[in-house]
Structure 1
């Protein structure tokens, strides 16, 4: 499913930033802008609203809607490697490549093959300003904002994570930081997910989503896309390492696993030279 309007500028930005090796930079052009003051107010409102009956009602509606959307959007989705995480009993951090606002439904669909644990999704604060039904899901369907705020990320955010892990649920954190629309290559990772995995002594459920273009058009610019979710080997913190050592080792292992999954799925070596096919299903003008 293609969300948003004309993607030509987005694809141009992907090519430009890939060639500059700025692989974690923003490529979207219509995301809401937010000052630090606005972001802080959003975080304050978010924490306050979570304690209200209104939030719990909206959360229930959004979770039910997301469950339905997950089944509808993933009727053709294939899952491999579910057996890799059968032994995970408690909470975990899930990582995946980030290329579509709704690709987390494919992750939800894959994890449902194993259990019915809740999956919370970490999202940029600007996503909480989006409107319409996508905005409603981004705000209420078990999503948590990250922030530039040191206080929030150092105190409030870890408390939110701990409450999730205590209940043996999962958190999806995108280590690539920014979404690159339909970009198929795994990009260099930020350390955040792995630091929290080490700090809370929970495993990383490593996933890679392969995109398979179809003959039919989704719109004038893109072919329809089916997903293959590859659940890779889980990555555990080691007891003889401190948090910094564990986070770096886990991050490196996750990157290598996703790199191997990419090369196996697409039958090509991973480089960051921009190539035809890097934006899967692109049917618009040659960039």
Structure 2
């Protein structure tokens, strides 16, 4: 079947960004970003109206994604290593490669029966909160999301919220690759954020890497829907004997190496870039 124009454009842009090693640049056009002001950020859902919207949004998101599963637009083939998650008690950060608008729900499905009634919090980009793409706007604002912000005063609230959530034993999902590259199978070099937060809060990171296999189903853009295997890997802990900077770099390196090992073992080939 002839590739759709949309698919062709995305693949060409990924190849271009990979060749230039622009790992964190967005492939697809994101909506314009508007600043998130501190009075608009209720990270912990302290307002009653936001508590209600949170429950409605989570229920609606579950229905939305479960319909995708029923239609085979989201396929989870296998979950490996859940014991690596359950043996870590208390607050934790989970990292995951970012290749789909559905990957956060895939992570949630893998973990939810082991969350002891807690929800999965997700760090998202500022524009996805202040000017979210349709039809995900309500989900982006109210499904336990933690938007970043270009405003220092809002980021102060963000950092305090992360601290509070981790102290009360919550799990926070962060995409250390930063941007989403559609169906990109390789691990990309990582940004600092997740590891800075882990060191700052003396919190372990549980790396998750999702591998993909082609199904026989096409999505709306002409891509083959991917069958996901979710690999939950052993926790990485901050080294208290190192400086904050060195501890962060060590965690980042260990996370990337863990992902790379899964990639190379699953696909049975070395990780080489610029080979799309």
TM-score (norm 1): 0.85
**Residue among 30, 40, 48 paired with 1:45:** 40
Q: CA deviation at 1:150?
A: 3.6
Aligned pairs for 1:168-247 (under 5 A) are 168-219=169-220, 221-247=222-248
Q: CA deviation at 1:175?
A: 0.5
Q: What's 2:32 paired with?
A: 33
Q: What's 1:114 paired with?
A: 114
Task: Name the CA distance, whole Å, in 1 between partners of 2:76 and 2:190.
Answer: 29
Task: Name the CA distance, whole Å, in 1 between partners of 2:267 and 2:49.
Answer: 45
Task: Name the CA distance, whole Å, in 2 between partners of 1:251 and 1:110.
Answer: 23
Q: CA deviation at 1:230?
A: 0.1
Task: Name the CA distance, whole Å, in 1 between partners of 2:43 and 2:264.
Answer: 45
**Alignment partner of 1:144 is 2:146:** yes
Query: Which runs of no fewer than 5 residues in structure 1 stay unpaired?
Result: 276-287
Q: CA deviation at 1:40?
A: 3.7
- Contact kept in structure 2, 1:205 and 1:234, CA below 8 Å: yes
Q: Which stretch of the first structure deviates more once superposed, 91-100 or 215-224? A: 215-224
Task: Name the CA distance, whole Å, in 2 between partners of 1:121 and 1:229.
Answer: 17
Instruction: Determine helix, strand or coil for the equivalent of 2:215.
Output: strand
Q: CA deviation at 1:86?
A: 2.2
Q: CA deviation at 1:50?
A: 4.0
Task: Name the CA distance, whole Å, in 1 between partners of 2:217 and 2:42.
Answer: 43
Q: What's 2:94 paired with?
A: 94
Instruction: Determine helix, strand or coil for the equivalent of 1:100.
Output: coil
- Contact kept in structure 2, 1:175 and 1:190, CA below 8 Å: yes
CA, structure 1 residues 165+48, in 2 after alignment: closer, same or farther (shift >3 Å)?
Answer: closer
**Residue among 43, 50, 56 paired with 2:51:** 56
CA, structure 1 residues 265+49, in 2 after alignment: closer, same or farther (shift >3 Å)?
Answer: closer
CA, structure 1 residues 54+265, in 2 after alignment: closer, same or farther (shift >3 Å)?
Answer: same
Task: Name the CA distance, whole Å, in 2 between partners of 1:18 and 1:261.
Answer: 20
Task: Name the CA distance, whole Å, in 1 between partners of 2:148 and 2:249.
Answer: 20
Task: Name the CA distance, whole Å, in 2 between partners of 1:76 and 1:7.
Answer: 22
Q: Which stretch of the first structure deviates more once superposed, 131-140 or 177-186? A: 131-140
Q: What's 1:157 paired with?
A: 158
Q: CA deviation at 1:165?
A: 1.0
- Contact kept in structure 1, 2:126 and 2:150, CA below 8 Å: no
CA, structure 1 residues 225+14, in 2 after alignment: closer, same or farther (shift >3 Å)?
Answer: same
Query: Which runs of no fewer than 5 residues in structure 2 stay unpaired?
Result: none
- Contact kept in structure 1, 2:94 and 2:171, CA below 8 Å: yes
Q: Which stretch of the first structure deviates more once superposed, 136-145 or 68-77? A: 68-77
Q: What's 1:12 paired with?
A: 12
**Alignment partner of 1:104 is 2:104:** yes
Task: Name the CA distance, whole Å, in 1 between partners of 2:254 and 2:76.
Answer: 30
Task: Name the CA distance, whole Å, in 2 between partners of 1:258 and 1:218.
Answer: 26
Task: Name the CA distance, whole Å, in 2 between partners of 1:113 and 1:83.
Answer: 12
Instruction: Determine helix, strand or coil for the equivalent of 2:6.
Output: coil
Runs ≥4 residues deviating over 4 A = 68-72
Q: CA RMSD in A?
A: 2.1
- Contact kept in structure 2, 1:96 and 1:209, CA below 8 Å: yes
